Structure formats: structure tokens, C-alpha cells
Amino acid sequence: MSAISLIIALIAVLGAGLLLFPTVVSWFSQYEQSQRIDGLTDDVADLSASTLQRKLDQARDYNARIAGGGANILANERLPLADQPEQDGDYESILSVDEAGLMGRLKIPSIQLDLPISHGTSSTVLEHGVGHLEGTAVPVGGAHTHSVLTAHRGLATSELFTHLDRVQLDDTFVVEVLGEVLTYRVIDSRVVEPSETESLFPVEGKDLITLVTCTPLGVNSHRILVTGERVIPTPSGDLDAAGQRPEIPTFPWWALIAAGVLLTAIVYVWLSGRPPRTTVSSRGSAAED
């Protein structure tokens, strides 16, 4: 094989790797998220009814203490910021059932999303799921509450809120927290400037959750805000589906098969382009002639 052919083959391998890498890595991310939700479901199931009620009461007391808080979104930043940061010293313990810091589960059926919700919006949290914006109400429902949940968009390693822009008005999303099942119907979806934060503040008598992510992909100059209002009573279908094990995604074997076929083809081409080996006996016969 000539040097040019070898370079072309290497470029082909590199290109295939770049194409297949996001698919494989995204699968591992989805699998890890499913395992975390699975663990949370087991932990909640192990708690007594009195413990669950105590934790829910603690969360509602927290919301009462921070009533009126909202969020600010800075330009060219991926994440919103609470306007009352570090409001309460026991924030990390609110809704927590283990050391992992998970507080619940977010399901968006219209885009087939099922993600764990964690405390805060640190880079570590947002690499693995949805973060709750500290300083806004924790997602346990209630009049005059407005929770803000945020996640990354457009990561090569995980889907997260990449398709949040596909969520339509009247779609629903579900938050499961400590055995409670809260369904929200989308009443507003908008793209805003970072300075436009009015819609993130509580509304008198309303039970709201807003999902936030950045846009356009890779630029992050604006924000997508998808706001849902609580549906009461919770639809029976959502109650029936609550606590079910998350669907473990099927491993993308096709990606490995495609990589193997490509590698085999390259090796075959390389071997077929090599000159035939001359044996000792053939060299001896040639010398006698």
C-alpha cells in the first residue's frame, strides 16, 4: 500500500471513530442515568411512610422560607443563577435519601426523556442529569411555587435537554419525588434573552416548573424556557407508571459491527496491496536458471 493510500485509510478510520464515538458514549451515559434512577427508586421504596411525609414537610417548609425567589440568567453562560444563592444551609438535605444527592426523577414522554434530578447546578451534576436551581422552590408542588430545572444541551456524551425545543404546548412532563407524582402541562415555551427573567418568578396561586437550557447549540446566547403548570388530579396513567424501572437502552451493537467491518476492509486492502513474499526456494530456482 502506498503512503497516500495508508493516509486515506487512517483518515477513514478516524472519521468513522468520530461518527461512532458519540453514539457509544451516549449509550453509557443513558445506562448510568438509568442505574441512578433505579437506585433512587429502591431507596425511596425502603423508606417508611412517616419518613417520606417528614421529608416532604421539610421540603414544603423550605419552599415557604424562600417564597418569592426567582432566577437570573447571565449572558454567554450555560446556566441560570438563583437570585438568592445559598439561601438555606440545609438545602442539600432537602428531599435527599442517600449520599448521591438525588432529589427526584423527571420524565418528558414527548421526547422520551427520563433523567435523575440532583441538587444544584454544578458542572458535575449537569454532566449526569438535571440540576435543580438552588434558590427556587424544590419540586414538591404547591400554590405560589416555581421550580427551575436545568440541563445541558448538545453534549456529545449525553442527550439531556438537547431536544427540549421539540416539546410542544399541551405536552406534559412528570416529576416523581419521594413517592409523589406531579404532572405538569406545558403552557409556555419561549426563547429569551439572558436578561429576560420575569417568567422564572413565582405566580400567585400557580404551581409551576420551568425547564431551562441554552440555545443555539454551541453559542449559548439565548435560553429556552419550557414552563408547565400542575395538572390536578394527577392523570391515572402517570400514577400507574410511577416508580417503574427505567428502560435500559439497547447497546448500539451496530456501531461496533460497523467499526469492525471498516477495520476488516482496511486491513484487507492493505494486505492485498503488498507485494508477494519471495521464498528461499524460489530465489534458489531463479539463481540456477
Grid coordinates standing for 178? 419521594
CA dihedral 158, 162, 168, 172 (to 10 degrees): 30
What is d(CA 6, CA 266) in angstroms, rounded to the nearest whole number? 9
For residues 21-58, one letter each, b for 16 or more C-beta atoms within 10 angstroms of the residue's C-beta and e for the rest, the string is eeebebbebbeebbebbeebbeebeeeeeeebeebbeb
Q: What residues have CB less than 8 Å from 191, skipping those under 6 apart?
A: 215, 222, 223, 224, 225
Q: What is the DSSP string of 85-140?
A: TT--TTGGGTT--STT-EEEEEEEGGGTEEEEEEES--HHHHTTSEEE-BTB--SS
Q: Which of 144, 152, 163, 222 is an active site residue?
A: 152
Q: Which of 119, 128, 132, 214 is an active site residue?
A: 214
Task: Check if 128 is active-site.
Answer: no
CA neighbor of 85 nearest in space, from 100, 64, 103, 66: 66
HSE toward the beta carbon, residue 72, CA cutoff 13 A: 7
What is d(CA 179, CA 26) in angstroms, rounded to the nearest whole number? 29
Task: Check if 214 is active-site.
Answer: yes
What is d(CA 251, CA 27) in angstroms, rounded to the nearest whole number? 6
Assess contact for 70 and 200: CB atoms under 8 A.
yes
132, β-bridge pairs:
119, 149
List active site positions.
152, 214
